[in-house]
């Protein structure tokens, strides 16, 4: 159970902004200006064990979705290394049928389903094409998958727009499950749903996890959902992981000031009057991130060297890493 299914080392992804071949050419020769680069994900290292659920949490624009797409193999990495069961991604992704082992559930339940395909085709297409199931058996196969996600078998003849948001998300999950993945990445899979439906989908995901022992990466900005679902949590800020530990550890004794402020912002049921202390300031533009520790302009603990030194992840206790210069090693 403790074997690593996925590992990322120093994974980075940058996008050049407003670029075209012609402008790059002009910039290179005429203006002598470096092209604008957005580092969406900046040297992220993390690993996922078989059967484990890893949560990734962070504000909008912190690079969660880019990271998810790199892990899913949809986006190439700018630098760094990805390994699936100790095999580098380059060779792993080249074998289409093995690459199916990594699947993804998307945020928007409507735009993630092709409006012109019937649900049966959406779910069954890849399984047939990759030879997981033969065409004559596809109806039974799809019906089976549909029942796993709690949809009636007659849904397969209908189109996505005929379903509600929660049902569509179930279709999206069914599509991922239909190719028998070992690892599932849920990118804000419940963010677009209302709260009661969120709970249904989360329960569904937990059932699936229990039944099939899927390893899961669950990306969300909702700490409550993360706490409910995940074994370990990584906190991201502006493209970097700032803290990574067991869920209970994180909620019990957060170390990084950003994590602490996030947790303080969580709504709680309490009889006392609370004052929310919002994190000061806006999230900085990832096009020109602050020097040193990205968080230092908003950090109450910031000292003068926070703006100069880029903090590396360091271990506070076993399995609990953080990236803050001002926490004394204990």
Partner 1 sequence: MSTAGFKDYAQHFAESRAAVVSLAVSLAFVACAIFAPLLSPTDPYDLTQLQLSDALKPTGSTRMLPGEEVRANIRIDGSATSVQPATPAKTHVTLVAEPCGLNCLGVGVQPEGTRLANLQIRNLPAGATVEGARKHPVQSWWTVDNPEGGKVRIASNGPLPATFTFLAIARSMDQETDFVFHLGTDSFGRDMFSAILYGVRISVFVGLVAAGAAMVIGTGLGLLSAWRGGITDAIIMRAVDFMLGLPALLVGLAILAILGNGVSKVVLAIVIVQWSYYARTARSFAMSELGKEYVEAARCLRLSPARIMLRHVLPNCMPQIIVLFTLNIASAISLESSLSFLGVGLPLTRPSLGMLIASGYEFIFSHKYWISIYPGIVLLVMIVAMNLLGDRLRDLNNPRLDR
- Interface positions with partner 1 (CB under 8 A): 20-22, 69, 72-74, 96-97, 99-100, 102-104, 106-108, 111-117, 125-126, 129-130, 159, 172, 175-176, 179
> Is 186:48 a contact under the CB 8 Å cutoff?
no
Half-sphere exposure of 321 (CA within 13 A, CB side): 18
Concatenating the DSSP letter of every residue in 201-263 gives HHHHHHHHHHHH--EEEEEES-HHHHHHH-SEEEEEETTEEEEEEEHHHHHHS--SHHHHHHH
Quick one: 126 or 153, whose CB is closer to partner 1?
A: 126
Q: Closest approach of Cβ 113 to partner 1, in Å?
A: 6
Answer yes or no: are the C-beta atoms of 165 and 195 closer than 8 Å: no
Least distance to partner 1, CB of residue 126, Å: 4
Closest separation between CB of residue 114 and partner 1, Å?
4
Please identify, using beta-carbon distances, which residue of 66 and 245 lies nearer to partner 1.
Answer: 66
Give min distance, CB of 135 to partner 1, in A.
16
CB of 95 to partner 1, least distance (A): 9
Residue placing its CB nearer to partner 1 in the complex, 41 or 321: 41
The side-by-side arrangement of strands in the sheet containing 240-246 is 102-105, 183-187, 215-220, 53-57, 232-237, 240-246, 320-322, 314-317
Pairing of strands 314-317, 320-322: antiparallel
In whole angstroms, give the CA distance from residue 289 to residue 248: 31
Q: What CA–CA distance (Å, rounded) separates 286 from 17?
A: 11
263: number of Cβ within 10 Å: 16
161 versus 273: smaller Cβ distance to partner 1 = 161
Q: How far is the CB of 270 from partner 1 (least distance, A)?
A: 38
Between 22 and 271, whose beta carbon lies closer to partner 1? 22
Residue 132, CB half-sphere, CA atoms under 13 Å: how many? Answer: 20
7 versus 121: smaller Cβ distance to partner 1: 121
Q: 262 has which bridge partners?
A: none
């Amino acid at each position: 159970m403790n074997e690593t299914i996925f590992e990322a080392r120093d994974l980075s992804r940058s996008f050049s902004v407003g670029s075209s071949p012609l402008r790059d050419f002009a910039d290179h020769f005429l203006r002598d200006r470096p092209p604008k680069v957005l580092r969406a994900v900046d040297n992220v290292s993390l690993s996922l064990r078989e059967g484990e659920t890893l949560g990734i949490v962070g504000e909008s624009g912190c690079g969660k979705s880019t990271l998810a797409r790199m892990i899913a193999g949809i986006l190439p990495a700018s630098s760094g290394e990805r390994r699936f069961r100790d095999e580098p991604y380059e060779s792993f992704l080249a074998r289409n049928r093995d690459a199916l082992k990594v699947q993804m559930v998307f945020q928007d339940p409507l735009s993630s389903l092709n409006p012109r395909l019937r649900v049966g085709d959406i779910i069954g297409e890849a399984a047939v094409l990759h030879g997981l199931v033969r065409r004559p058996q596809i109806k039974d196969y799809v019906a089976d998958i549909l029942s796993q996600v709690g949809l009636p078998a007659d849904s397969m003849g209908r189109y996505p727009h005929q379903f509600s948001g929660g049902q569509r998300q179930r279709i999206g999950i069914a599509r991922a499950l239909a190719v028998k993945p070992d690892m599932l990445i849920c990118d804000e899979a419940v963010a677009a749903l209302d709260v009661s439906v969120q709970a249904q989908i989360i329960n569904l995901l937990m059932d699936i996890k229990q039944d099939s022992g899927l390893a899961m990466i669950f990306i969300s900005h909702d700490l409550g959902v993360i706490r409910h679902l995940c074994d370990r949590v990584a906190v991201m800020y502006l493209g970097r992981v700032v803290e990574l530990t067991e869920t209970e550890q994180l909620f019990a004794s957060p170390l990084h000031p950003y994590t602490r402020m996030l947790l303080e912002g969580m709504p709680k049921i309490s009889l006392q009057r609370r004052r929310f202390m919002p994190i000061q300031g806006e999230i900085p533009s990832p096009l020109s991130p602050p020097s040193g520790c990205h968080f230092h302009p908003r950090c109450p603990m910031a000292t003068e060297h926070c703006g100069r030194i880029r903090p590396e992840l360091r271990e506070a206790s076993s399995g609990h890493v953080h990236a803050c210069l001002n926490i004394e090693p204990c």
